[in-house]
Structure 1
Amino acid sequence: MPATNDSASIEKQASERDSLPAAPEKLPLSKRVLRVVWDSLDKSPQERKLLVKIDWWILSYVCVAYFIKYLDQTNISQAYVSGMKEDLNLAGNDLNLLTTWWTVGYILGQLPSQIMLSYVRPSIWLPTMELLWSVFVIGMAGAKDVKTMYALRFFVGLFEASAYPGIMTLLGNWYIPTELGKRSCIFQASSSAAQMFSGYLQAALHAGMDGRAGLASWRWLMIFDGIIAVPVCIYGYFAIPDSPTTTKVKWLNEEEKQMTRQRMENVGRAAPRKLTWQTCLDVARGLPVWLFSAAFIAHVLAIRIYSYMNLWLKATGTYSTEAVNIIPTGGYALQIVCTLLMAWTSDAIQMRWPLIITAATVSMTGAIILSVWPASNSGIFAGWYLMFCETGAGALFIAWINEVLSHSEEQRRIVIGVVETLAFTFQAWVPLLIYNTGEAPRFRIGYQMAAMFFAIEILLTLVMAWLWRGRNTKGVDLREEKEKKEAIS
């Protein structure tokens, strides 16, 4: 290479080194402690005020909206043990089939919903889907047979499909890595709170509303769930801020909108661009979509098992209907504690995978205990409750996706949609084989398969942690880094 080119190359390298951001100054211990406690306490007053606003509007909507969605998912199981089984003449695998029809709708709706977010603002799309969802939930109260309930559950799943992936994408657009784990898990914890509340709600309705206006308590449960969703939908039209580069919300001023954009730029979080076929091809060619999908499939199939605890309680014949609904709420309370503990710890250490592995190991222990099926009820209770501990790992998986793919909002949105779709595709049929409710409470192979799925999740998480060990939390596009190095050389 000529000397002039060598000189130009050296000057270019020096220029690029000068343009790189300086290494972050080490924070004093007091600020590091404050960051762990809550990530806005160590920030400037202006950024702290901004985060308070974002948290208030976004988290208040997403948590309440998902609380109601998950209340419905849990209500089916609660209704089954509170009179629906007898009223609709359900038998054998009918409870699983109700979940399967919901899952089919959920599968068909997820990826199209994520694509629609490229053309319709989230502040319009997400609340509208929720409004349609509430109509079909109320409709379930009038079901006269199981076939009608199958159809209604399909549409409930279809319109609910926008919620989880859409909200997780929204959180990834507004929070930086040191904030995202907490918010994702707080959002995830709202589902645990819903499952916990559902038991108390069904117990109260069974005691006070059963037979009112000629309706069984489980029908009142559906009516209540659908009605409370309506004001939340209306709130969503004003609360959801779309993305930092496209937001039109009134609760942020221009200076704050600019600050949100700058925050995302500082961590390498790219602004939305036009969705193209090349983007879809890049997703299909990349490892993240397939590895995250496989791990998330194992996660979803494994945690499904804890939802059958109330079937075991009913099968013992020693608990009242109210007790069967209330006792599992202890597991959901434990789930909330574990989820939030995982959130704070993962943000503090800036890694997601160690917490996922820890939680999966704990729940795998519970599955092994139930595989053995101890002679004492206390041992069986321990097995059930341990399997509640891993649910929060799902939110950490999605937060991890948002960070690994920070360089492309479109790829993040599509990968989250694909991961969710594939996971629930497997959930639509695998539980029919391994968690056949006709075999409850002692599933022939169910507990062993749950332990296996937790083990697969742990293995795949270790593989991903090794593959992306050099990827920083800003989610830098490794292809861009490679191109820069090649240009320098």
Structure 2
Amino acid sequence: MNVRNFLWGEAPSTKQERNLLFKIDFFILSYTCLVYFTNYLDRSNINNAYVSGMKEDLSMGGTDFNKILTIFTCGYIVGMIPNNLMLQVLPPRIWLPLCQIVWGVLTFCTSAVTNVQQIYAIRFFQGMAESSTFVGTHYILGSWYKPGELGKRSGIFTSSGLAGTLFSGVLQGAVYSNLNGVSGRSGWRWLFIIDGVITLPIAFYGFWIFPDVPATTNVFYLSEEDRELAASRLRGSVEVKHSPLSWKLAKRILTRWRWYACSLLFAISGETESFGSNNLMGQWLKAIGGYSVEQTDYYPSGVTAFGIVSTLICATWTDYTQVRWPVLVYMSLSCIFASICILVWKSPTGLKFFAYYLAGASYSGQATTFAWANQICADDDQERAIVLASMNMWNNVVNAWWSIVFYPATDAPEFTKGMIAMIVICVATLAVTALVWYLERREHKLGLQLEDSPTSDNRQAEKHIRDEKDPVEQLR
């Protein structure tokens, strides 16, 4: 096995393509990873702020914390598909940084709230703005990279968000130790100020260097030859045509299996991330007592750290093998085992620590699932944009009520309902993974049969003529 090919994909055949790949890797990944880092830093900060004084300062009780998460999710759902459709109308180079500026300003506003109702309003609009990042980036990645290059880039992107979660715990611990009470502000308020300071410069960086998609890019670091190569190298594997929106798109999507199956897959499998998204370990440590505020912030970082390692290893492996489904099996089995360990409440504390950390494997499915969907929909640019947005949208539709029903803060430290729900959702993930695998194989076989039929000769001739045209002209 060639180590270089395993770690970073098959080497481009020409120097020009190697240079192109280096440029888009550097500029696309540097911006999208920084954006997602701040995206998850903001989401995680609300969790860490809650266990670091916000609960007491704002007199929060009952399920107020869960309501904050749910209202953010509602905003996320509302913004999901409109944000991805806006990428078909406005250049991503404008739209994505603009959304980041909006949530950066709202992050500053969070530092000045005086009651939980103000947080409800802020988080709804933050959810709308932040929903542009995840599916928008997966759409961009799928527009520039071949299937064999996509998984590990998706993994790096996803890991940057997890790094934001990891950094948030460390940052909150440091802020609480050094800034709590400075200028009359609590440590958790300083956390949101620092978050906003980090966020805004990255948005301006995006206005300068983000390349849009091959069909419309005009950034300074790509020559005309680079733009032509970016389009031509994807022919036969990814549809890069940028067409006007029409009602035919809805008919095309709703009469295929892809939208239904891929949306169902992430709507269900995404709930395995409930361990991390609800900071269950942090709530457990706070509820059982005996741990300082700094420890309550630091220790859950191990969940995220294991998630990063799992994500990068799994994404690299799936690109090399071009098989995506085993990652979802690994993720589901890990979460089932972790849930059982926590469900047996008399198990040792050390085993519970291990179980929570092992549950970080749930994050590995995110990058793989979206790389899989990009691969499935590679022949239709607009369908791919809608399917990616819908996957995340339906997952967040479930998220909107899932944490309140199964992981209310009042259930800490045991979360008995939540652990049972986790086992059920993991079994369901295995079943839907098998369904998507079957439907993809069936579609591939039918496609091969059509290509081998006598009536396919004319289609092959037409395709040959199209392929001979200048790729840039095809995009116009």
TM-score range, shorter chain: over 0.9
Which residue type is aligned with residue 487 of structure 1? T
2:237–2:379 Cα contact (<8 Å) kept: no
1:305–1:447 Cα contact (<8 Å) kept: no
Which residue type is aligned with residue 171 of structure 1? L
- 1:10 aligns with none
1:303–1:450 Cα contact (<8 Å) kept: no
Out of 401, 405, 418, the residue aligned to residue 377 of structure 2 is 405
Bigger shift: residues 379-388 or 86-95: 379-388
2:422 is the alignment partner of 1:450: yes
Distance 1:303 1:352 in 2: 18
The residue correspondences of 1:61-72 to structure 2 (distance < 5 A) are 61-72=31-42
- 2:289 aligns with 317
The number of aligned residues is: 455
Bigger shift: residues 437-446 or 158-167: 437-446
The residue correspondences of 1:88-127 to structure 2 (distance < 5 A) are 88-127=58-97
TM-score normalised by structure 2 residue count: 0.92
- 2:466 aligns with none
Bigger shift: residues 145-154 or 35-44: 35-44
Bigger shift: residues 284-293 or 335-344: 284-293
Which residue type is aligned with residue 264 of structure 1? L
2:396 is the alignment partner of 1:428: no
Distance 1:182 1:166 in 2: 17
- 2:334 aligns with 362
- 1:346 aligns with 318
Which residue type is aligned with residue 102 of structure 1? F
Distance 1:237 1:481 in 2: 46
Q: Report the 3-state secondary structure (helix = DSSP H, G, I; strand = E; otherwise coil) of the residue aligned with 2:253.
A: helix
Which residue type is aligned with residue 408 of structure 1? D
The residue correspondences of 1:16-31 to structure 2 (distance < 5 A) are none
Q: Report the 3-state secondary structure (helix = DSSP H, G, I; strand = E; otherwise coil) of the residue aligned with 1:445.
A: helix
Distance 2:239 2:343 in 1: 44
Out of 16, 19, 22, the residue aligned to residue 49 of structure 1 is 19
Q: CA deviation at 1:483?
A: 8.3
- Superposition CA RMSD, Å: 1.8
Out of 102, 111, 115, the residue aligned to residue 145 of structure 1 is 115
Q: Report the 3-state secondary structure (helix = DSSP H, G, I; strand = E; otherwise coil) of the residue aligned with 2:360.
A: coil
Distance 1:241 1:252 in 2: 9
Which residue type is aligned with residue 254 of structure 1? E
1:315–1:441 Cα contact (<8 Å) kept: yes
Q: Report the 3-state secondary structure (helix = DSSP H, G, I; strand = E; otherwise coil) of the residue aligned with 2:139.
A: helix
Out of 392, 403, 417, the residue aligned to residue 364 of structure 2 is 392
Distance 1:232 1:425 in 2: 29
Out of 140, 160, 169, the residue aligned to residue 130 of structure 2 is 160
Out of 263, 275, 278, the residue aligned to residue 233 of structure 2 is 263
Q: CA deviation at 1:481?
A: 7.2
Q: CA deviation at 1:488?
A: 4.3
- 2:218 aligns with 248
- 1:25 aligns with none
- 1:23 aligns with none
TM-score normalised by structure 1 residue count: 0.90
Distance 1:331 1:353 in 2: 23
Q: CA deviation at 1:356?
A: 1.8
1:361–1:458 Cα contact (<8 Å) kept: no
Residues 395-441 of structure 1, C-alpha deviation per residue, up to 9 Å, x if partnerless?
A: 11111111111111100001111111111011001211111111111
- 1:233 aligns with 203
1:305–1:435 Cα contact (<8 Å) kept: no
Q: CA deviation at 1:41?
A: 3.9
Q: CA deviation at 1:45?
A: 2.3
1:241–1:249 Cα contact (<8 Å) kept: yes
Larger Cα Rg: Structure 1 or Structure 2?
1
Q: CA deviation at 1:369?
A: 1.7
Distance 1:450 1:148, change over 3 A: same
Out of 294, 300, 303, the residue aligned to residue 264 of structure 2 is 294
Gaps of 5+ in 2: 458-476
2:8 is the alignment partner of 1:35: no
- 2:253 aligns with 283
Distance 2:420 2:195 in 1: 35
1:305–1:450 Cα contact (<8 Å) kept: no
Distance 1:284 1:445 in 2: 35
Q: CA deviation at 1:47?
A: 1.5
The percent of aligned pairs where both chains have the same amino acid is 34
2:181 is the alignment partner of 1:205: no
Residues 356-413 of structure 1, C-alpha deviation per residue, up to 9 Å, x if partnerless?
A: 2122211221112222224310121122111111212111111111111111110000
Q: CA deviation at 1:46?
A: 2.0
Q: Report the 3-state secondary structure (helix = DSSP H, G, I; strand = E; otherwise coil) of the residue aligned with 1:375.
A: coil
Bigger shift: residues 154-163 or 368-377: 368-377
1:374–1:380 Cα contact (<8 Å) kept: no
Distance 1:275 1:484, change over 3 A: farther
Q: CA deviation at 1:42?
A: 5.6
Distance 1:75 1:36 in 2: 35
1:110–1:417 Cα contact (<8 Å) kept: yes
Which residue type is aligned with residue 376 of structure 1? P
Distance 1:391 1:213 in 2: 38
- 1:376 aligns with 348
2:343–2:416 Cα contact (<8 Å) kept: no
- 1:3 aligns with none
Distance 1:355 1:215, change over 3 A: same
Q: CA deviation at 1:40?
A: 5.6
2:342–2:355 Cα contact (<8 Å) kept: yes
Distance 1:212 1:415, change over 3 A: same
Distance 2:288 2:188 in 1: 22
Q: Report the 3-state secondary structure (helix = DSSP H, G, I; strand = E; otherwise coil) of the residue aligned with 1:161.
A: helix
Distance 1:480 1:96 in 2: 49
Q: Report the 3-state secondary structure (helix = DSSP H, G, I; strand = E; otherwise coil) of the residue aligned with 2:111.
A: helix
- 2:186 aligns with 216
Q: CA deviation at 1:204?
A: 0.5
Q: Report the 3-state secondary structure (helix = DSSP H, G, I; strand = E; otherwise coil) of the residue aligned with 1:142.
A: coil
Q: CA deviation at 1:269?
A: 2.8
Residues 106-146 of structure 1, C-alpha deviation per residue, up to 9 Å, x if partnerless?
A: 00000111111111111111111111111111100010000
Distance 1:488 1:65 in 2: 45
- 1:196 aligns with 166
Distance 2:450 2:210 in 1: 37
1:34–1:42 Cα contact (<8 Å) kept: no
2:149 is the alignment partner of 1:179: yes
Out of 415, 418, 428, the residue aligned to residue 390 of structure 2 is 418
